[in-house]
Amino acid sequence: MKIDPSAISVADRLGVLGESVRLRMLRLLEREELSVGEVASVFQLAQSSASRHLKVLGEAGWLVKRAVGTSTHYRLTLDDLVPEARTLWAAIRSGMTMPELGEDDRRLAGVLGERMTDSRAFFGRVAGEWDAVRGELFGERFTAPALLGLIRPDWVVADLGCGTGNAGELLAPCVHGVVAVDASEPMLEAARARLGGVGNVEYRVGELESLPLDDASVDAAVCFLVLHHVGDPVASVREMQRVLRPDRGGGVVLIVDMVEHERDEYRRSMGHRHSGFGRAEIESMLGEAGFVSPVYRVLPSDPEAKGPDLFVATGRVSQ
């Protein structure tokens, strides 16, 4: 039986907002109509948990739902709220200052981006079925490795904090050589095992603050998810500048790491020394180290990822 919204008391409406995740849901559902699965992705919940929260909010008169095929979509529609609830929500929304809101916004953008991609892919298949044909002929994983062809084949690239060799595995077939540097011998052993008989990879033990590389000895350097582990990231970025040579079209550093976040438990459980980095901090580091034209870009969110969002930053050494 459908409940008359005017029969729901303000106390009942307010009572269901005791859990912060429901407040965060209402904030985004006022902005966008989302399916249960999309809400689960944005807030990193099991679909059953997301469905339970949405049901509670709907029964309290906060949300309207709409069937779309086999799925149900939810929305907070301000005009559908009774005046008391509308006033209450306006007051709550204006005072909402939770640290998770930024990540909620980025994950929502990722979900909406996936929705757009799925929609375009569908219409592409209907119009010409090219994606299906291309996938059948060539597979689905050639695009990213092919883009590495933009790197000059005579370059030597330093993989700083190489870990188990994820980046080196992609780079080695495309360049003259890779120098894999890590402070951990076990990590280097894992990289050796992963890369097997690849002959153009050299392995060196060393810290990022004091790289075991000569001045101007590599054309490019990459640093994936390492800077937040380093005690002195400014010194590390200076070292990156020192080892780069710009005379063959290179002299570029590429850093991928976490954006600023509030997850202090990472310091205890994973040994992180820094809770991510913001644009101003990274651009300042690159500038102080002598890099020109620094670029900082937040990467699209993966709705399946459980960690903070990532950024990619680049800088160049002037000739």
pLDDT tens for 157-212 read 999 999 999 999 999 999 999 999 999 999 999 999 999 889 999 999 999 999 99
Cβ-Cβ contacts under 8 Å for 197 (sequence gap 6 or more) = none
pLDDT at 130 over 70: no
pLDDT bucket at 126, cuts 50 / 70 / 90: very low
Task: List for the chain the helix, strand, coil content (%; round to 5).
Answer: 50, 20, 35
pLDDT given at position 124: 47
Q: Which helix (H) or strand (E) holds 119?
A: helix 101-127
* Mean of pLDDT over the chain: 89
Distance CA 62, CA 287 (A): 49
Transcribe 33-46 into DSSP letters.
Answer: -EEHHHHHHHHT--
pLDDT given at position 3: 59
Q: Which residues pair with 13 in a beta bridge?
A: none
> Hey, what CATH topology would domain 5-108 get?
Arc Repressor Mutant, subunit A (1.10.10)
Instruction: Provide the residue ranges of all domains of the chain, joining segments of one domain with +.
Output: 5-108, 148-317
Averaged pLDDT for residues 302-306: 83
pLDDT given at position 127: 46
pLDDT at 246 over 80: yes
CATH dotted code for 148-317 = 3.40.50.150
Pick 142 or 103 by higher pLDDT.
103
Could you tell me if 212 and 181 are in contact, meaning their C-beta atoms sit under 8 angstroms apart?
yes
Range with the poorest average pLDDT among 52-66, 80-94, 115-129:
115-129
Q: Which two tokens stand for residue 300?
A: 């699209």
Averaged pLDDT for residues 215-222: 98
Pick 204 or 61 by higher pLDDT.
204
Q: Which two tokens stand for residue 34?
A: 């989302």
pLDDT given at position 131: 61
Averaged pLDDT for residues 17-32: 93
pLDDT tens for 105-119 read 999 998 888 877 665
